[in-house]
Amino acid sequence: MEGKPLTEPLSSFRANVETVLLGKRESVDLAIASFIAGGHVLLEDVPGTGKTTLARALSSGISGTFRRIQFTSDLLPQDIIGMHILGADRKSFVFSPGPLFANVVLADEINRSSPRAQSALLEAMSERQVTVDNRTYPLPEPFLVIATQNPYEQHGTYPLPESQLDRFNLRLRLSYPDRDSERQLIRENNLLTMRDGIPASLRPEQVRALRAEVDRVTVHDAVVDYIQRIAAATRVHPAVRLGASPRGAIGLKSTSQALALLCGRDHVTPGDVRRAAVPVLCHRVFPKGDAAGSEAAQAILEEVLSVVPSPL
């Protein structure tokens, strides 16, 4: 069983990320879980709460490539995925890959760019390949997009439509650190400190092996049933306009599996599902009327979770 040698680098990876992001253990666990389950992450919060730090820590934890794309309103698809340029021999076009060709891509302030650029990124996210001028180029494996957006700035932004939000497996909110962690942060840092330089502990092929490992985590029929009931309950909730998609349910299962693996278990418990449910489903549930916003969706999900009986 190759699971044995993998647990050690995984736990050191997790410990390293946690030293960078103080007091955010749960968010770190969820982000890593999504990462090893192969799901992209959307970080949503005010600036300066560590979104970029988390993304950089995740990427530098694996010995892969990391790129950062700053989304602006004039960003074009070519700027992301790359383009064909005339080769040095002046006879043929060669493909010049854009910043998307990396193991970890940080799409900063994704809602600032036009839908055109957004859709280019999102296609790559779900297909794991890009098509430029009838040529298809596979993206490296592992491939993870960590997008950030600032929900409080509405002016001049293009909010992601429902279908595109669905491509993200996880939406995390990195709220302010707790008091002790923040004190420690203030004490130990100045404006020039970079806290994301952690040693790489996972190689890309190990990440691939981990993904296979996640797939092997047992999901009991009762837990599958529980996931299905949660997803179904979001669709019939009276305050919901659009409920969780089947893709959301699949994402919930995979994230739960990854969480279980992270805890060193070979089976998913209802507790794993409940841990993952809000981050995985929150951005996929759209409340009715003006109540749009993550608070309302989160309240709905918490209600669903307290009402849907968990298997015992």
Nearer to other proteins, 105 or 219 (CB): 219
Nearer to other proteins, 139 or 219 (CB): 219
Q: Is 248 exposed, middle or buried (0-12, 13-18, 19+ CB in 10 A)?
A: buried
**Element holding 303 (H helix, E strand):** helix 294-307
CB of 260 to other proteins, least distance (A): 9
CB of 228 to other proteins, least distance (A): 10
* Residues 271, 291: Cα–Cα separation, whole Å: 29
Nearer to other proteins, 207 or 223 (CB): 223
* Residues 286, 234: Cα–Cα separation, whole Å: 10
Nearer to other proteins, 210 or 217 (CB): 217
CB of 269 to other proteins, least distance (A): 5
Residues 6+ apart with CB under 8 A from 7: 264
Nearer to other proteins, 47 or 271 (CB): 271
Q: Of 96, 198, 117, 223, whose CA–CA distance to 164 is shortest?
A: 117
CB of 4 to other proteins, least distance (A): 17
Residues 6+ apart with CB under 8 A from 4: none
* Terminal-to-terminal C-alpha distance of the chain: 30
How many angstroms separate the Cα of 214 from the Cα of each of 18, 64, 204? Answer: 21, 20, 15
Nearer to other proteins, 188 or 266 (CB): 266
**Element holding 131 (H helix, E strand):** strand 129-132
CB of 221 to other proteins, least distance (A): 4
CB of 256 to other proteins, least distance (A): 11
Q: Please report, as ranges, the residues that interact with other proteins according to CB under 8 A.
A: 218, 220-223, 225, 229, 265-271, 274, 305-312
Amino acid at 124: A
Nearer to other proteins, 59 or 234 (CB): 234
Amino acid at 156: G
The answer to whether the CB of 251 falls within 8 A of the CB of 39 is yes
DSSP string, 125-138: HHHSEEEETTEEEE
CB of 285 to other proteins, least distance (A): 16
* Residues 202, 205: Cα–Cα separation, whole Å: 8
* Residues 144, 257: Cα–Cα separation, whole Å: 18
CB of 292 to other proteins, least distance (A): 25
Nearer to other proteins, 53 or 256 (CB): 256
